[in-house]
Chains A and B, each alone.
Chain A
Amino acid sequence: MSCATPAARGRLRYTLLVAALAAVLVCAAVAGLTLGSVRIPASQVLETLTGAAGPGPYRTIVLDVRLPRVLLGAVVGAGLAVIGTVLQALVRNQLADPFVLGVSSGASVGAVGAIVLGAGAGIATTVTVPLAAFTGALGSLVLVYGFARGGGALTTGRLLLAGVAVSYILSALTSLLMVTSARADHLKEILHWTLGGLGSARWDMLALPTAVLAVGTAVLVTLARPLDLLLVGEEGATVLGLDTGRFRAAVFVLASLLTGVLVAFSGAIGFVGLMVPHAARMAVGAGHRRLLPVAALGGAAFLVLADLAARTVAAPQDIPVGVLTALTGGPFFLWMLRRRPYGTTAGAAA
């Protein structure tokens, strides 16, 4: 009887979708452990994971190289998709992604500065680069927030304009640091960072982003109701009881902090936060309680697969995964544009 109601059918469909996405993620992870410059049989991978296999080169590759990389990919992918979803609601525009509000360019300045200066001073860059990237992200957050807030409420328009302006300035600074850096080996490292990649993943890098992702996503899911309210606009949300200025500010700060932590470890991997929220919204609608978990799972699976491709397509060359996400994301976006007149609803909203 209850199975026949539309609501129950909707719940069943949603549960199946989440289960399917989780299965895709697990398969992607297994593929990510098996494939690569060295192919390791799945049975061997399984034995290594369960601890049945003895020490050896396979064990090192699976446990110390591939597994942290797969896990970091899943965490970063999920995080970028969640942040993208939330920022698109915040500015009511489908073109928003985790980087539109200037956070990544701040992180870039920090990272590139650390590479250029820190490496020259002989400091280990594996610690200083993420730290400097996060500091840069925080700095740009403060700048954007300050300018967006200055002299009035935090509205969508001010936030976007401040984000874009700060982005340009900081990108120019990054370029300046790059061209004035004398050493060629810096350039490769800088390029790798700005394009985004998971190649430097290590076990000791996982705890912080994982914890931040878990807490951030949990908080955002509990905020599903006010996030939905943002979709009906400034005035619409206010008359439904939302203190839009304060809520916007809180969500912006939370999203920026999340972005800062993630890009500090992975660099600026583009398009995941733009594309995955769209696809998720097409599958389950715009209500955030259902949307956020689907976006997180989808983002995780997508980035693990993209990173697998980045490692294998031109093996033994390791292509920055950001290049691959852009190569798949760009066409996807154009296809979306053709499919429906997105500009119209977004334009009316702004």
Chain B
Amino acid sequence: MTTLTTEGLSYGVDGRHLVDDVTLTAADGETVGLVGPNGSGKTTLLRCVYGTLRPSHGRVLLDGEDLHAMSPKARARRIATVPQDSAAAFELTVREVVAMGRSPHKRFWEQDTDADDTLVRRALARVGITDLADRAFPSLSGGERQRALTARALVQQPSLVVLDEPTNHLDIRYQLEILGLVRDLGTTNLLALHDLNLAAYYCDRIYVLDQGRVVASGPPKDVLTVDLLRTVYGVSAEVSVHPTTGAPTVVYLPVST
């Protein structure tokens, strides 16, 4: 049972607001999408939520508890995330990187148990990279890394999953697989997504950010409108309900010159 709430969240650098008075909620088990143009503050907002940035105003609450009052370890037991830049120095194996997800549940001197190994094995199988387990992590392709880091988030056994562009670098098949996987976790999920059609299909509700502010929110079919696409993204588009998926589908129209 996990509800995420941000209350009047702002984050500024040198007087410029990257995130400006954002209030949002993700109810228990809900998958909530963050969309918006580049530079609209999605990543900054997510970093405030998973705790690597301290908001200049407002609070982030997980079931009413202030996230920034928790220790990093306590936070990591509740929230799993995959930071955008997740390069690993030195040649840790994929298995070692995934097993790191157990760290927040361990005293620093504790070794992994058989139960931990089993969790790691299951997670590797679930994202389909069992055969990569003993490869060096830096030798993986972008998509394979993304899947390994998703496996790491799985073994963390979080109640909230926060993902920043989880489908970056992925072939379309893996985009669908990762998003399907995240949805099926049963956790509360907050995802920043670039692709509006994926957001429309996989998210229960979406928030649209523009210049750090929430300009629209609600179920995808209410939010993704022709008007919104014009004002926020500056594009002409047609939006229809797809007969098979039942989700709104955006078709972009060429820019008239």
Interface of A toward B, CB cutoff 8 Å:
6-7, 88-89, 92-94, 222-223, 225-226, 228-229, 231-233, 235-236, 238-244, 281, 285-287, 289, 345-346, 348-349
Contact = CB atoms under 8 A, between A and B. Distances in A.
Contacts of A286: 90-92, 96
A349 B89 contact: yes
B90 A241 contact: no
B132 to A, nearest CB: 14
Contacts of A7: 117
B76 interface: yes
Contacts of A232: 86, 88, 92, 97, 100
Contact of B52 (A235, A345, A348): A235
Interface centre among B50, B81, B103 (most CB of A within 10 A): B103
Contacts of A88: 90
B83 interface: yes
B85 interface: yes
Given A226-B108, A232-B97, A287-B96, A239 B50 contact: yes
B154 to A, nearest CB: 13
A229 B89 contact: no
Contacts of B100: 228-229, 232, 240
Interface stretch (B67-75, B190-198, B208-216, B220-228): B67-75
B76 A93 contact: no
Interface of B: 50-52, 71-77, 79-81, 83, 85-93, 96-97, 100-101, 103-104, 106, 108-111, 117, 134, 138, 156
Contact of B92 (A93, A239, A285): A285
A326 B88 CA distance: 29
Q: Which 4 A-B pairs have the closest CB atoms?
A: A241-B76, A241-B104, A349-B89, A241-B73
A241 B103 contact: yes
B228 to A, nearest CB: 32
Interface centre among B74, B80, B89, B108 (most CB of A within 10 A): B89
B230 to A, nearest CB: 35
A82 to B, nearest CB: 16
B90 A345 contact: yes
Q: Chain A contact residues: over half helix, strand or loop, or mixed?
A: helix
A224 to B, nearest CB: 8
Contacts of B108: 222-223, 225-226
Contacts, number: 101
Contact of B72 (A6, A223, A243, A346): A243
Nearest to B81: A239
A7 B95 CA distance: 12
B76 A235 contact: no
A286 B91 CA distance: 6
Interface centre among B79, B109, B138 (most CB of A within 10 A): B109
Contacts of B103: 225-226, 229, 240-242
A310 B106 CA distance: 46
Contacts of A240: 76, 100-101, 103-104, 156
A307 B149 CA distance: 46
Interface centre among A6, A88, A242, A346 (most CB of B within 10 A): A242
A231 B104 CA distance: 16
Contacts of A345: 87, 89-90, 138
Nearest to A227: B108
Given A231-B92, A240-B104, A348 B87 contact: yes
Contacts of B109: 222-223, 225
Given A232-B100, A289-B111, A241 B75 contact: yes
Contacts of B101: 240
Contacts of B86: 232-233, 236
Nearest to A235: B83
A239 B89 contact: no
A222 B108 CA distance: 7
B92 A238 contact: no
A238 B51 contact: yes
Interface centre among B74, B88, B90, B117 (most CB of A within 10 A): B90
Given A233-B88, A235-B83, 16 more contacts: A92-B89, A228-B100, A231-B92, A232-B86, A232-B92, A233-B85, A238-B52, A239-B80, A239-B81, A240-B76, A241-B104, A242-B73, A243-B72, A286-B91, A287-B92, A345-B138
A285 B90 CA distance: 8
B46 to A, nearest CB: 11
